[in-house]
Chain A
Amino acid sequence: MIYLQLFWEFFKTGLFAVGGGMATLPFLQAIGESTGWYTYTDLMNMLAVSESTPGPIGINMATYVGFTAAGIPGAVVATIGEVTPSIIVILIVAAVLHSFRNNPYVDHAFYGLRPASTGLIGAACAAVVLEVLTSIQLVAQEGGILKTAALTLDAAAPLGGVLNLRGVALAAVLLVLTNWVPKVKGLHPIVFIGLSAVVGVVFGFAGV
């Protein structure tokens, strides 16, 4: 029964992949290898589509892999399988937190936790900014504790240099619009996303 197998494989992925959508990739690769539902190349194509369509990448990947394996029911089953462990774990964590709400230790832990959470999001932001706006890549050393901070410069980068100039220009305009222009800065984020998509198409941001 392929649906049961799909549910189980994605349940395991959702349970063991810690750290977000990208953390599920190695698990999805292993599923492809053990079941033969799709190849590594298929998976890379699915990743490209998942990144460029609406919805969190991790969900899009689960849906796509499930669809590839068993059509629309497969997409639904795989996605539900992947989110089930999250729902169970988070509901338990929420209940525990709720019952310790007035415990000073929990309060103090969150005092330290909040700036750390912001720091982690800031680090993710820095990685995305480097990837999108520059040709600088922080080379991750898989398996090692230390991530070598080696900066590799891609000589063949579009626009020749280290900076994605059109991207930087758009980012500067967006930064001003979203922070300092009265009336405009209060607009919904999706307005700026839509605007940027149009700018990307008009100015050929991907260079194709």
Chain B
Amino acid sequence: MEGESKFKSLWVLFWTFAKMGVMTFGGGMAMLPILQREVVDNKGWATEEELTDYYAIGQCTPGIIAVNTATFIGQKYGGVAGGIVATLGVVFPSVVIISILAGLISNFADLAWVKNAFAGIQVCVCVLIFNAVVKLLKKSVVDKRTAVIFFLVLAGGIFLKVSPVWFVVGAALAGILLKNLEVRKA
């Protein structure tokens, strides 16, 4: 990327992430199906596997998951400037929308149609995240051992109240250990 074309690329990055910000209802997890469509399928800026990696790291590093993931993807596409621009893009719609709502409609969340529309959207987000997980499963659970890691972390995530950091660190160590044993056996 050089000169004018670099500027254009950053502009595309900004708008793509701004668009995804508008389409995200909920937290970072709600952004996952949108990222799969826009970043993996449409733009080809990252693979499904890389997205999984970014979510793993994004959950155990400081900050909002959506921002951490945006910075990762932007950095891969356009270096340091790309990381910053992608993040500015993803937060841009929030700043505009919240400023308008906070300034004009103080009881926005109490409006009946807003509550009803959001209750419908929540159901949809459930289904979209479920579909996203199924998609990730195909890329991340590649054998019996990765299936065991998946189910252990899934159960742990539901029933244990511990930081995701422990699961991520534990799984990374397990990966290294399992692969080492494999090499020794061979």
Give per-residue flags for B157-176: 1 if the beta carbon is below 8 A from chain A beta carbons, else 0.
Answer: 11111111101101111111
CB–CB A116/B116 < 8 A: no
Contact residues of B between 44 and 100, Cβ < 8 Å to A = 49, 52-53, 55-68, 71-72, 75-76, 80, 83-84, 87, 90-91, 93-95, 97-99
* Overall SS of chain B's interface: helix
* B interface footprint on A60-71 (CB within 8 Å = 1, 0 otherwise): 100110011000
In the complex, whether A153 has a CB less than 8 A from a CB of chain B is: no
Q: Is the CB of A115 within 8 A of B122?
A: no
Contact between chains at A60 and B116 (CB < 8 Å): no
- A-facing residues in B14-69 (Cβ within 8 Å): 21-34, 37, 49, 52-53, 55-68
A21 B95 Cβ-Cβ under 8 A: no
Bound-complex Cα distance A86 to B159 (A): 28
Against B, the Cβ 8 Å flags (1 = close, 0 = not) of A34-58 are: 0000000000010011111111111
Q: Contact at A114–B140, with CB atoms within 8 Å?
A: yes
Complex CA gap A76/B141 in Å reads 41
Least CB distance from B20 to A in Å reads 10
Q: Does B131 contact A (CB under 8 A)?
A: yes
Q: Taking A55-B21, A116-B168, A205-B123 as contacts, is the C-beta distance between A128 and B150 under 8 angstroms?
A: no
A48 to B71, CA, bound (A): 27
Which residues of chain A from 4 to 48 have a CB within 8 Å of any chain B CB? 14-22, 24, 45, 48
13 contacts across the A-B interface (CB closer than 8 A):
A15-B63, A21-B66, A52-B117, A54-B21, A58-B27, A59-B21, A72-B99, A90-B75, A91-B75, A113-B171, A114-B53, A116-B149, A120-B168
Q: What residues of chain A have their CB less than 8 Å away from a CB belonging to chain B?
A: 14-22, 24, 45, 48-60, 63-64, 67-68, 72, 75-76, 79, 82-83, 85-87, 89-91, 93-94, 104-105, 107-129, 132-133, 138, 140-142, 144-147, 149, 167, 170-171, 174-175, 178-179, 188-190, 192-193, 195-201, 203-206, 208
Q: Which 5 A-B pairs have the closest CB atoms?
A: A200-B120, A112-B175, A123-B157, A119-B153, A86-B63
